[in-house]
Amino acid sequence: MFNNVFGIHERSLLLSGERVGVLAANIANADTPNYKARDIDFQSVLAGEQSSQGALPMARTNTAHLAPGGELSTMAELKYRIPFQPSLDGNTVEAPVEQAKFAENQVRYQASLMMINRRISSIENALTSR
């Protein structure tokens, strides 16, 4: 009954948490020669999550298999960012772009957290009302 109580927002929080690490690494390496800026394609990962939620249930046929519905695996979704203006040292990190992406990620995180809090409040109200 409570397997999917928070919907896509639970996955969104996990993905935002991973993405903040990737963006922080980009900012930290802004002066590293030949460092390539990377990012997670947030839209495609969540679109894949939504489409897989309506898919047929998976079953484990071997104990060595991973359990279905586990943590997000976004390493395959980590992509290189193409810079607007390439630098001479080969570094593709652009501080204003990274800062904007960092702020965008924070807004997504806050929105998902707010939706989860509202869901918890509605569940509490349903349980305590008579």
Q: Diameter of the chain by CA atoms? A: 68
Tally of structural domains, the chain: 1
d(Cα 63, Cα 96) in Å, to the nearest integer? 47
d(CA 45, CA 19): 11
pLDDT tens figures, 103-119: 999 999 999 999 999 98
30 within a domain of the structure (yes/no): yes
Paired tokens of 1: 């009954």
What global pTM score does this model have? 0.70
Residue 1 lies in a domain: no
In this predicted structure, the answer to whether residue 69 has a pLDDT above a threshold of 80 is no
User: How is residue 74 written in tokens?
Assistant: 């976004």
Rounded to 5°, the CA angle 65-67-45 comes to 110
Judge whether 2 lies within some domain: no
| Domain residue limits at 106 | 8-54+72-128
For residue 60, give every residue at least 6 positions away whose Cβ sits within 8 Å of its Cβ, in sequence order, or none.
Answer: 67, 68
| 67 in a structural domain | no
